[in-house]
């Protein structure tokens, strides 16, 4: 049952993106990354630290009556360059989240495109089969009259009926596949209507002035973002060469019999010293991460470049196939019409006419498939270039 109508492929893709749970999850990652970046742009790397002490000699049975209260508050300090490095690393995480959203949108769009292409192909094939069944119905009616009149043998009628049954079986198979494709479209977009893929042609390239550049592919942008994130993580580790020092104030109150003073105020600080045993493993781990990210980025560029060329070649090939399939279909249709007249006049056996109709059907199916393939290839290139048709 349709809950809405996606009349265009653009509407279907937008609807699928709005319903996709993975995209929603990526949106949440983007929001959390932004909040993290804002939170790290602070004066101190973390909150203040409170400390306190209470000392009393009564616990050990002393009669002196010596009691000390101490309390302090201190704050951690950024190491030189560490604060900016932390912000840059968080901003790199935001860029990665943005890139993941675009990649997920690409995956959802391609899924909708694949389902639309499949459903469109099946619909065209069913229409072609229905046309053949209708023509064979007419032939079957004529052959039955001819059999009753004794003009042809019952074998002619049986041949036509067998061909028609075969076509009807093919229709049933394709209708089942079409129902599955429509159900998956409804799950993705909220509507089981098949988007109009056949209205898309090459004119949209000139109208919208798309730049078909594989470097705009969201997958390459994600790989580059991950590389940048790894580099900023290394920079942060390099500036975090020791634990953050702390500085603060301390108040001490001492109570002792006949003591001339009882309260003191001072400054306290803690400075942990660097350690190669602590820092070097972290640095080397980040170096390895940078190497892996650069490797993945190069592999992504190669994969997208090959895929881009493959789809362009597929589109060009499908356009050529469409041209030839249309010419072949027109010629075979004319031949089938001529053989139909010849069979009715008793000049040729009916089996030749049936073969001609089957040849016409095969040409129609090739034309339908090629027509869908080149349009789908065009849309896929647009999606890979970061555009939405």
**pLDDT tens-place string over residues 285-313:** 999 999 999 999 999 999 998 988 898 88
Condensed to tens digits (0 to 9), the pLDDT of residues 19-29 reads 999 888 888 88
Look at residue 381 and tell me whether its pLDDT is greater than 70: yes
Condensed to tens digits (0 to 9), the pLDDT of residues 110-153 reads 999 999 999 999 999 999 999 999 888 888 887 777 666 666 66
pTM: 0.82
Of 26-30, 231-235, 254-258, 263-267, give the range with the top mean pLDDT.
Answer: 231-235
Look at residue 60 and tell me whether its pLDDT is greater than 90: no
Look at residue 207 and tell me whether its pLDDT is greater than 60: no
Q: Backbone phi, then psi, for 388, in 5-degree steps?
A: -120, 120
For residue 73, count CB atoms less than 10 angstroms from its CB and return exposed for 0-12, middle for 13-18, buried for 19 or more.
Answer: middle
**Which pLDDT does position 147 carry in this prediction?**
66
Look at residue 4 and tell me whether its pLDDT is greater than 50: no
Of 174-183, 206-215, 373-382, give the range with the top mean pLDDT.
Answer: 174-183
Look at residue 2 and tell me whether its pLDDT is greater than 50: no
Question: Quick check: helix, strand or coil at residue 62?
Answer: coil
**Which pLDDT does position 271 carry in this prediction?**
86
Task: Tell me the CA distances in angstroms from 359 to 171, 344, 352, 363, 365, one per residue in order.
Answer: 17, 19, 11, 6, 10
Range 1-10 average pLDDT = 60
Question: How many C-beta atoms surround the C-beta of residue 120 within 10 A?
Answer: 23
Look at residue 159 and tell me whether its pLDDT is greater than 90: no
Range 212-236 average pLDDT = 89
Which stretch of 116-120, 154-158, 240-244, 295-299 has the lowest confidence by average pLDDT?
A: 154-158
On average, the pLDDT of the chain sits at 85
Look at residue 261 and tell me whether its pLDDT is greater than 70: no
**pLDDT-derived band of residue 224, with 50, 70 and 90 as boundaries?**
very high
Range 330-335 average pLDDT = 89
Of the chain, the percentage scoring pLDDT greater than 70 comes to 90
Condensed to tens digits (0 to 9), the pLDDT of residues 92-114 reads 999 999 999 999 999 999 999 99
The helix (H) or strand (E) run that includes residue 293 is: helix 276-344
Give the DSSP per-residue string, 189-211: HS--SPP--TT--THHHHHHT--
**Which pLDDT does position 59 carry in this prediction?**
67
**Which pLDDT does position 1 carry in this prediction?**
38
295's CB contacts (< 8 A; 6+ apart) are none
């Amino acid at each position: 049952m349709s809950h809405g109508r996606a009349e265009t492929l653009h509407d279907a893709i937008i609807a699928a993106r709005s319903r996709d749970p993975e995209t929603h999850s990526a949106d949440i990652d983007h929001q959390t990354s932004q909040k993290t970046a804002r939170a790290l742009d602070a004066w101190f790397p973390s909150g203040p630290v409170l400390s306190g002490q209470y000392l009393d000699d009564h616990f050990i049975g002393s009669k002196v009556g010596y009691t000390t209260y101490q309390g302090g508050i201190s704050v951690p300090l950024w190491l030189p360059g560490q604060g900016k490095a932390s912000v840059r690393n968080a901003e790199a995480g935001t860029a990665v989240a943005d890139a993941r959203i675009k990649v997920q949108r690409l995956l959802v769009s391609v899924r909708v495109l694949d389902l639309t292409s499949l459903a469109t192909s099946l619909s065209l094939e069913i229409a072609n089969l229905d046309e053949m069944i209708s023509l064979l119905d007419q032939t079957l009616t004529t052959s039955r009259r001819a059999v009753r009149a004794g003009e042809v043998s019952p074998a002619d009628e049986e041949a036509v009926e067998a061909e028609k049954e075969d076509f009807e079986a093919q229709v049933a198979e394709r209708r089942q596949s079409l129902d599955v494709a429509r159900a998956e479209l409804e799950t993705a977009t909220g509507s089981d209507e098949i988007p109009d893929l056949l209205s898309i042609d090459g004119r949209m390239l000139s109208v919208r002035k798309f730049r078909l550049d594989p470097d705009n592919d969201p997958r390459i942008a994600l790989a580059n973002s991950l590389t940048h994130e790894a580099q900023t993580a290394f920079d942060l580790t390099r500036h975090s060469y020791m634990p953050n020092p702390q500085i603060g104030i301390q108040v001490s109150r001492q109570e002792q019999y006949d003591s001339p003073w009882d309260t003191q105020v001072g400054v306290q600080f803690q400075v942990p010293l660097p350690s190669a045993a602590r820092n070097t493993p972290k640095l080397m781990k980040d170096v390895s991460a940078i190497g892996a990210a650069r490797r993945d980025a190069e592999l992504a560029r190669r994969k997208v470049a090959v895929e881009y060329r493959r789809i362009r070649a597929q589109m060009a090939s499908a356009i050529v196939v469409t041209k030839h399939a249309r010419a072949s279909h027109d010629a075979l249709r004319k031949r089938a019409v001529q053989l139909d007249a010849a069979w009715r006049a008793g000049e040729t056996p009916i089996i030749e006419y049936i073969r001609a109709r089957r040849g016409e059907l095969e040409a129609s199916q090739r034309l339908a498939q090629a027509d869908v393939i080149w349009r789908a290839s065009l849309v896929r290139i647009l999606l890979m270039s970061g555009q939405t048709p």
